[in-house]
Chains A and B, each alone.
Chain A
Amino acid sequence: MDVIIASYNYWIYILLMMIGLYAMLSKNNLVKKIIGMSIFQAAIIVFYVSIGAKRGATIPIIEHGHGHGAAEHAVNVMNYVNPLPHVLMLTAIVVSVSTLGVALAIILGIHRRYGTVEEDEIMEKIQ
């Protein structure tokens, strides 16, 4: 039980991932598959964001600063969240949105060509 609570962020992302993976693999509707894909990607984003967070920390902008006093006060890392994972996730979000866009465009094309977005119906029409 302690293990689960101590690292609950991991369990949340694993749960989200599994939901996403399940949708991607087992849903018949292509749009639902894509929703699954988005959940899957969001899970990873949540994971990254959570690893940068620290209890009681604030945004990574140096408070004491503004030029004169910054040098005297050593910056205490524990007071700030780690900005790097967050920044990385901005890029990852862009990537996942683009993937979503491409996937939706392909679905549009499929709908135009086959008149349906249900996988089994498409397969029937292909054969």
Chain B
Amino acid sequence: MISPEQYPVLIVVIPLLSAFIINVIGWFRKGFSYPLIVLSLIITFYLSVSTLLQVVDGGAISYRLGGWPPPFGIEYVIDHLNALVLVVISFVSLAAAVFSKESVKKELPDRIPQYYTLFILLVTGLLGMTITGDAFNLYVLIEIAALTSYALIAFGRDRALVSSFNYVIMGTVGASFYLLGVGHLYIMTGSLNMGDLLSILPAISGSRAIFVAFLLIIVGIWTKMAFFPLHGWLPNAYTYAPTATGVLVAPLMTKVSVYIMIRLMFSVFSADYVFNTLNVHDIIVWMAVAAIIGGSLLALTQTDFRRMLTYLIVAEVGYMVGGVWLANSAGITGAILHILNDALMTLCLFLVAGIIYHKTRGHHLDDIRGLYRKMPFTMAAFTVGALSMIGVPPTVGFFSKWYLILGAIDAGQWGFMAALIISSLINAVLFFKVIEVGYFEPMHGHHDDGHHEVTIDEAPFSMLAPLYVIAVSLIVVGIYTSSIITNIIAHAVPKGL
């Protein structure tokens, strides 16, 4: 039995190794890819959960790769914040993998092993981004995650290739900015270890170069997370990606980027530097307001269900960025909580979009007509997800909004509070528009009074099961918000705010 001390590295190594195994075995047996990926993600999920429990019990863990002490070797640091994000990533990717069985078989029948290899490499990249405590290592892992997601998106149909290409350009610019920023930090400090940087930087916090480094890094990360107005690449890329890609990428990519932003802000530059030395949080909160309102309004103009969801992701990124930059503990708590909650909500809705596409070959609003009769189980889960996006208690969406609004009141940022409320209202309009279509309009080819019996034609079990797990977790996690906050998030918020 492997000792729990080795779990941190295994969280990254197991999916990495299974990428090779899936690829090699895939040459001989295509059918093995799916069980293998599910198995390895179950192990990863188990490892992340037990790591989280270790952290909750005993505080942050530091793991030295190859035994080299920092700052010479690469260090993995797992504290409350990234332990939580690790669980989110492994949970979401597990659900996405379980779900993907039928859709990959249907959409990419001749490239199953290759697809799954990339799939799990992306998960590896995301897990690595989250776990690492080294600024340059982070760059490499960001690019691993990005490269695989370019490819995973390019598998899609219609405009997928073109949008993937735009994503490559934007993603590379973002990552390059980040790398450049890290270079400036290295010039000033001679270190790349985050803990080391945190201890050196306060002494030279007045330097212009540090400010430039900060600016480059934050803009780079914003490009990666599609923070309005750098969001241009996201909607097309996520709309035309294969179903399984959308289900994996949409809930995770932006959320992990938000995590990276929080990590760099507090574990490299320190809360004191970003909030007190730099006086930029007002501007950034207003940018977040623009993101929320802009994203919501753009979502309102869409007639394609999945495209609408992608604009909502843009709005939700505004929630989290704004929450962090409220610079008080309620706001940061809300932002971190929203990483978890939004991942679950987005996953739930993308699973629904995936099922609808699987059954009707489209995810236009017209394809949703009459689905409340035809697919009542899917639509019930959709309703839960929609209510969570609107922010109805006791679903998770309400609680992160609760903290974000409290933070806004504390900080006196009335614009941000108004934006959150308006966005809830717009979400209500959006989702009830979809619900109306599904509930009132008869299906294609049935133009009678609509009161006749429609036979239920539901999605396969492998799709419904993860959907229901997620839909139920939207409520269960909501009710357990208190213990998540006191045991985990309270420790992740910087002290003294």
A contacts, CB < 8 Å to B: 21, 24, 30, 33, 37, 40-41, 44, 47-48, 51, 84-85, 88, 91-92, 95, 98-99, 102-103, 105-107, 109-110, 113, 122, 126
Q: Contact between B173 and A44 (Cβ–Cβ < 8 Å)?
A: no
In whole Å, how far is B178's beta carbon from the nearest beta carbon of chain A?
10
Q: What residues on B are CB-neighbors of A44 within 8 Å? A: 176, 179-180, 183
B164 close to A106 (CB less than 8 A): yes
* Binding site secondary structure of chain B: helix
Contact flag A103-B183 (CB < 8 Å), given A24-B173, A109-B161: no
Q: Are B161 and A51 in contact (CB under 8 A)?
A: no
Within 8 A of A (CB), among B197-256: none
| Contact stretch, chosen from B44-52, B143-151, B362-370, B391-399 | B143-151
Point out residues on B near A: beta carbons under 8 Å: 136, 139-140, 143, 147, 150-151, 154, 158-159, 161-162, 164-165, 168-169, 172-173, 176, 179-180, 183, 186-187, 192
Q: Which chain A residues lie closer than 8 Å to B161 at the CB level?
A: 106, 109-110, 113
Total A-B contacts with CB atoms under 8 angstroms apart: 68
Contact of A99 with B154 at beta-carbon distance under 8 Å, contacts A51-B183, A110-B162, A113-B161 already known: no
Leading 4 A-B pairs by shortest Cβ distance: A95-B143, A109-B161, A110-B161, A103-B168
Residue of B nearest to A95 (CB): B143
Taking a contact as CB atoms under 8 Å apart, the answer to whether B165 and A107 are in contact is yes
Q: A106-B161, A109-B154 are in contact. Are A21 and B168 (CB under 8 A)?
A: no
Contact assessment for A103 and B179 in the assembled complex, using a CB-CB cutoff below 8 Å: no
Main secondary structure of the interface of A (DSSP, over half): helix
CB distance from B400 to the nearest CB of A (A): 34
Considering the chains assembled together, what is the distance between the CA atoms of A84 and B158 in angstroms?
44
Within the complex, which residue of A88, A91, A92, A102 is in contact with B168, where a contact is CB–CB below 8 Å? A102
- Nearest-neighbour CB distance to chain B for A108, whole angstroms, equals 9
- Indicate the member of A47, A99, A110 with the most B CB atoms within 10 Å: A99
Known contacts A91-B140, A106-B165: does B172 contact A51 (CB below 8 Å)? Answer: no
Q: Is there contact, CB below 8 Å, between A40 and B173? A: yes
Q: How far is the CB of A47 from chain B (nearest CB, A)?
A: 6
Interchain residue pairs with CB less than 8 A apart (5): A37-B168, A41-B172, A44-B176, A84-B186, A103-B165
Closest to B165 in A: A106
